[in-house]
């Protein structure tokens, strides 16, 4: 047996029987031992000795092979059945005393000669998949910790302070707050739940010792759950699993706990990490408990689990000053604010420090102001001890990843590393006839300064110069990651053009590799056929399908190239009549999957500059769906609709009815269809290689890229000369022939 572990009574039973049992042959013995071990506080410790024996046995490779399926560590069916035979008893936890591997002590513990633990502080990050109730749970924690007055009005999702976050209903930027519970300060970091903002999660995990993994009681672990859990396990953090929304009618806590435990095994978690505490909660009601059927009236069990299961920060109180900067904020009066956790030493206001980088270059600086997080605000402080999270002002050129160290003997901490971007887009100055009408910043210098300023706080993004001086290549973790930047810039008064998203490929050993992602689609059984067909056309490979809840919905899991995801969201919503839910997360790089057709229809392009009329749109809407309505200004080359057939079609949407065409009878009433409304995300997904999105503070338009070679467009009037060989015969003048074909050998019939 491996030394250094605190084994329970069940482990003692396994230790006495270890020489007589094999890898899987005694699964029945495991089940019997679980029934005998009435003092066991969670079900998953039953696998710890088994996994230890498997790691040391020669036959472990046959049971748990190292080769992963789809790069995510899936195990053979035998092992899955062995683990699934150990089911979790939801009522078992409520009948026993719960304890964690991190046992509370009455005084600070000395870890080494210089390292100690700080008892009065806990640092945690709350991570979850998007829309699993993470921010709502933080609201309840703040309210029950008496952060706000009793008569104070508090809006929902108080941590989502950004306008974009409130409009989209997602968390984009990580934010810090703190509460005090039984004399212990709990620093809480709310993190984004979308995979495109994974860089925010990777960055803040440097500041904490544990995480609250929030999982929906119906959906269970989702793609972003896998990503954030993998990062937390790599840092060695303790994990408390919170099964949220337990009050839903279709909640299935047993399935969620078993799926989460299997996810821990697949991600090669240690035995101590697999021994996770489970808390059942309803964030919107502010209740939590150790059993899904017996919730307390408040979040007391959750707070107790944080104090009991999240380790105290290990610090070097008397060592040299060291603080790793993990976040940057800006204030109009205080300037740049560096946020991070103090790893060693004592930081005081007004002292001189040294700013060190990873390449061992240092510069002198001075701390003008110092803040700590108390309740929901920053509070000035004279000094900060190691182990706490603080904000530092006065260093105007501080960057994320740099270390604020002691003036004389300071050394840099390991820098923050995030995963490489997978999608890139081109930004260029606005070249449309409407340039400068709505925006304040329109030059390439303004665009360059804003993009490079974004790099100071967004580590997962890259900016490169394009082919021309007025073009820049922006690389990010996904289209949403870059779209949020575009939306922020247009609200700041910028005008620019955006090209279609492209994946970032790699070439290894003369083999072309492209990024693949794991896509999960929640769709009803009535629309499963069209969705499966759509994913198959985009080179998706299904590897799992299961039912969810009682609503007759299924969860489909695919491994699909990132190229196939471009424009997929709208297509899936159309195929499922708006009922499907698509979630994706980056998986790995794989061989080139082949050509993928992402759009089968062409565009309707404006023929000339002018103002749209009802007379012209009445005939134009017969060719497809329109983006414009009467009275809108358009310019030549602007995309005004979707063609119902492949290929682009040129239309005159500004044509007016002739004034001489007067009849005695009443004119026919013009009936127009409602135009399509495409948001910024929809436009980014719609455009192709030869198209651009024009972004202004008040409008979002699409147009053809004038830099591309002009292609033959349907609806153009051609002059064709026909006749016998050696004798040219001109086409009749004003014959009015319009050729709606792309064939080279088509001739006029006159």
**pLDDT tens per residue, range 561-581:** 998 888 888 888 888 888 888
Q: Left, alpha or beta for 486 (phi > 0: left; psi -120 to 50: alpha)?
A: alpha
**Which of helix, strand or coil describes residue 289?**
strand
**Is 522:553 a contact under the CB 8 Å cutoff?**
yes
Contact assessment for residue 237 and residue 269, using Cβ atoms and an 8 Å cutoff: no
Q: Confidence class of residue 7 from pLDDT cuts 50, 70 and 90?
A: very low
Residue 745 pLDDT:
40
Which whole number is the average pLDDT over 36-57?
Answer: 37
pLDDT grade for 241, boundaries at 50, 70 and 90:
very high
State mean pLDDT over 705-711.
68
Rounded Cα gap, residues 454 and 424, in angstroms:
15
Whether residue 276 has pLDDT greater than 60: yes
Phi, psi (degrees; rounded to nearest 5) at 643: -75, 145
pLDDT per residue as tens digits for the range 149-196 = 555 555 565 555 666 666 676 777 777 888 888 888 888 888 876 767
What is d(CA 88, CA 562) in angstroms, rounded to the nearest whole number? 37
Cα separation, 486 vs 498, in Å, equals 9
* 475-479, 505-509, 723-727: least confident range: 723-727
What CA–CA distances, in Å, run from 407 to 372, 479, 573?
A: 22, 43, 58
pLDDT score of 12 more than 50: no
The mean pLDDT of 476-495, rounded to a whole number, is 90
* Share above pLDDT 90 across residues of the chain, in percent, rounded to a whole number: 16
Pick the range with the lowest mean pLDDT from 211-215, 305-309, 666-670. 666-670
What's the average model confidence in pLDDT over 332-336?
A: 82
41, two tokens:
């506080």
Whether 725 has a pLDDT exceeding 60, the answer reads no
Block residue for tokens 């999702």? 157
- Please give the residue that has the higher pLDDT: either 44 or 549: 549
Write down the residue that tokens 């519970």 correspond to.
Answer: 181
Statement: residue 697 has pLDDT above 80: yes
Mean pLDDT over residues 201-217, rounded?
A: 86
Predicted TM-score (pTM) of the model is 0.72
Helix (H) or strand (E) holding 587: strand 581-591
CA 545 to CA 642: how far, in whole Å? Answer: 34
Q: ∠ at Cα 245 (244, 248), nearest 5°?
A: 150
pLDDT at residue number 498: 94
| Contacts (Cβ under 8 Å, ≥6 apart) of 537 | 596, 597
pLDDT single digits (tens) 93-128: 333 334 564 444 444 555 554 777 778 888 888 888
pLDDT in tens, 577-606: 888 888 888 888 899 888 887 778 889 999
Per-residue b or e along 688-722, where b marks 16 or more CB atoms closer than 10 Å to that residue's CB: eebbbbbbbbeebbbbbbeeeeeeebbbeeeeeee
Kindly tell me if the per-residue pLDDT of 70 is higher than 60.
no
Query: Which residues, 6 or more positions from 232, have their beta carbon under 8 angstroms from its beta carbon?
Result: 125, 127, 205, 211, 213, 239
Predicted local confidence at residue 66, as pLDDT: 34
Going by C-alpha positions, the residue among 570, 565, 505, 513 that lies closest to residue 539 is: 565
pLDDT at 3: 39
Least confident of 15-19, 74-78, 150-154, 716-720: 74-78
| C-beta atoms surrounding 311 within 10 Å | 16
Query: What tokens appear for 52 in the block?
Result: 């230890």
Query: For 534, what's the count of Cα atoms within 13 Å in the CB-facing half-sphere?
Result: 26
Mean pLDDT over 276-299 rounds to 88
User: Do the bridges between strand 238-244 and strand 277-282 make them parallel or antiparallel, or are there none, so unpaired?
Assistant: parallel
Q: Of 474, 470, 481, whose CA–CA distance to 453 is shortest?
A: 474
Q: Is the Cα dihedral 266, 269, 274, 277 positive or negative?
A: negative
Percent above pLDDT 70 for the chain: 74
SS3 content of the chain, % helix, strand, coil (to 5): 25, 30, 45
Statement: residue 702 has pLDDT above 90 = yes
Q: In the predicted model, is pLDDT for residue 268 greater than 90? A: no
The dihedral through the CA atoms of 152, 155, 159, 160 has a sign that is: negative
Residue 531 phi/psi, 5-degree rounding, is -70, -45
Residue 87 has pLDDT above 60, yes or no: no
Put residue 448 in one of left, alpha, beta given phi > 0 → left and psi -120 to 50 → alpha: alpha
User: Per the structure block, which two tokens stand in for 531?
Assistant: 């969705």
pLDDT in tens, 550-565: 567 888 889 999 988 8
| Alpha-carbon dihedral angle through residues 196, 202, 207, 210, given to the nearest 10 degrees | 90
Q: Would the pLDDT of 426 be above 90? A: yes
Above 80 in pLDDT, residue 30? no
In angstroms, rounded to a whole number, what is the distance separating the alpha carbons of residues 368 and 336?
11
Average pLDDT over residues 266-277: 87
Question: Tell me, what's the pLDDT at 569?
Answer: 82
What pLDDT, in 10s, does the model give residues 625-668?
999 999 999 999 999 999 988 888 998 999 887 766 555 555 56
Residues 431-445: pLDDT tens digits? 999 988 888 999 999
The pLDDT, as a whole number, for residue 100 is 63
Does the pLDDT value for residue 712 go beyond 90?
A: no
CB burial of residue 680 (10 Å; 0-12, 13-18, 19+): middle
Is residue 83 pLDDT above 50, yes or no? no
- 8 Å CB contact between 221 and 548: no
């Amino acid at each position: 047996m491996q030394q250094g572990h605190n084994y329970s009574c069940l482990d003692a039973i396994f230790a006495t029987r270890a020489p007589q049992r094999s890898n899987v042959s005694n699964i029945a013995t495991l089940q019997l031992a679980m029934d005998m071990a009435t003092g066991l506080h969670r079900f998953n410790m039953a696998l710890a000795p088994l996994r230890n024996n498997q790691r040391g046995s020669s036959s472990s490779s046959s049971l748990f092979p190292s080769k992963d399926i789809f790069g995510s560590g899936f195990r053979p069916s035998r092992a899955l059945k062995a683990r699934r035979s150990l089911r979790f008893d939801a009522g078992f936890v409520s009948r026993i005393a719960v304890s964690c591997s991190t046992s509370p002590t009455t005084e600070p513990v000395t870890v080494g000669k210089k390292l100690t633990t700080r008892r009065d502080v806990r640092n945690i990050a709350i991570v979850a998949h998007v829309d699993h109730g993470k921010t709502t749970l933080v609201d309840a924690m703040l309210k029950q910790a008496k952060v706000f007055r009793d008569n104070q009005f508090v809006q929902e999702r108080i941590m989502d302070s950004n306008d974009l976050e409130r409009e989209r209903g997602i968390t984009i930027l990580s934010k810090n707050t703190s509460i005090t519970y039984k004399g212990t300060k709990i620093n809480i970091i709310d993190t984004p739940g979308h995979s495109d903002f994974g860089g925010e999660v990777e960055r803040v995990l440097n500041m904490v010792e544990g995480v609250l993994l929030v999982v929906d009681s119906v959906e269970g672990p989702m793609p972003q759950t896998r990503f954030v859990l993998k990062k937390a396990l790599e840092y060695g953090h303790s994990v408390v699993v919170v099964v949220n929304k337990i009050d839903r009618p279709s909640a299935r806590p047993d399935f969620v706990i078993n799926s989460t435990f299997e996810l821990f095994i697949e991600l090669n978690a240690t035995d101590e990490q697999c021994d996770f505490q489970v808390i059942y909660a309803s964030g919107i009601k502010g209740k939590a408990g150790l059993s899904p059927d017996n919730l307390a009236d408040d979040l007391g069990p959750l707070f107790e689990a944080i104090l009991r299961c999240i380790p105290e920060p290990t610090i070097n109180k008397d060592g040299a000053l060291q603080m790793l900067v993990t976040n940057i904020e800006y204030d109009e009066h205080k300037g740049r604010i560096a946020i991070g956790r103090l790893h060693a030493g004592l930081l005081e206001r007004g002292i001189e420090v040294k700013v060190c980088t990873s390449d061992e270059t240092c510069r002198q600086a001075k701390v003008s102001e110092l803040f700590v997080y108390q309740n929901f605000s920053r509070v000035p402080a004279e000094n900060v001890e190691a182990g706490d999270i603080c904000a530092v002002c006065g260093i105007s050129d501080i960057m994320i990843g740099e270390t604020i160290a002691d003036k004389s003997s300071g050394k840099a901490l390991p820098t923050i590393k995030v995963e490489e971007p997978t999608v890139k887009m081109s930004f260029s100055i606005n070249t449309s006839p409407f340039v400068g009408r709505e925006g304040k910043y329109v030059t390439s210098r303004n665009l360059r300064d804003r993009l490079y300023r974004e790099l100071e706080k967004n580590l997962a993004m890259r900016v490169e110069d394009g082919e021309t001086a007025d073009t820049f290549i922006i690389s990010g973790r996904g289209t949403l990651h870059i779209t949020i930047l575009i939306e922020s810039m247009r609200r700041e008064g910028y005008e620019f053009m955006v090209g279609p998203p492209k994946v970032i490929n790699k070439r290894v050993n003369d083999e072309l590799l492209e990024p693949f992602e794991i896509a999960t689609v929640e769709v009803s059984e009535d629309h499963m056929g069209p969705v499966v067909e759509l994913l198959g056309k985009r080179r998706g490979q299904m590897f799992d399908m299961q039912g969810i809840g009682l609503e007759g919905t299924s969860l489909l899991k695919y491994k699909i190239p990132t190229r196939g995801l471009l424009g997929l969201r709208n297509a899936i919503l159309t195929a499922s009549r708006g009922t499907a839910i698509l979630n994706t997360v980056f998986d790995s790089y794989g061989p080139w999957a082949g050509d993928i057709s992402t759009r089968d229809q062409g565009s309707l392009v404006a023929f000339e500059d002018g103002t749209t009329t009802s007379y012209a749109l009445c005939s134009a809407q017969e060719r497809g769906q329109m983006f414009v309505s009467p009275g809108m200004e358009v310019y030549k080359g602007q995309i005004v609709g979707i063609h119902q057939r492949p290929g682009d079609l040129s239309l005159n949407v500004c044509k007016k009815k002739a004034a001489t065409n007067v009849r005695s009878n009443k004119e026919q009433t013009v009936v127009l269809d409602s135009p399509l409304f495409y948001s910024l995300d929809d436009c980014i997904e719609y455009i192709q290689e030869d198209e651009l999105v024009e972004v202004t503070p008040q409008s979002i338009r699409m147009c053809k890229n004038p830099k591309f070679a002009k292609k033959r467009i349907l609806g153009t009037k051609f002059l064709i000369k026909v006749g016998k060989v050696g004798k040219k015969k001109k086409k009749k003048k004003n014959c009015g022939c319009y050729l709606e074909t792309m064939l080279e050998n088509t001739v006029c019939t006159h």
